[in-house]
Amino acid sequence: LELRLLNDSIYRIESRELLPFWRLNLGNSTNLYLRYSDDAYDRIWGTYTEDDWISVNTTADIDIQGSSNSYKLPVK
């Protein structure tokens, strides 16, 4: 068991009425759980899909490392 200290900047919710319950990986239908080596917080992502969903792709650049990105999403 490895424990890691996380400060409260990862999920900024001032009222504390809402708390994160689950992180979902909506792009993978084969692995039940996924971890990214470049995830700053080493989170575990659970797979979630619906039968009637369709795949959407883009070649556009997506900025996930913006200056106010306290979530620090993995690049993959």
Please indicate whether residue 9 or residue 56 has the higher confidence score (pLDDT): 56
Residue 56 lies in a domain: no
The answer to whether position 43 is within a domain reads yes
Asked if residues 43 and 35 have their Cβ atoms less than 8 Å apart, the reply is yes
The DSSP 8-state label assigned to residue 21 in this structure reads: -
Q: What is the CA radius of gyration of the chain?
A: 15
Look up residue 12 and give its two tokens. Answer: 């900024």
The pLDDT value given to residue 62 = 73
Q: Give the model's pLDDT for residue 53.
A: 81
Angstrom distance (rounded) from CA 22 to CA 46: 8
- The whole domain housing 31 covers 19-50
Number of domains observed in the structure of the chain: 1
pLDDT value for 1: 66
Q: What is the pLDDT of residues 16-75, one digit of tens each?
A: 555 556 666 666 666 677 777 787 777 777 777 788 888 788 898 877 666 566 666 666
More reliable by pLDDT, 37 or 5: 37
Residue 9 pLDDT? 65
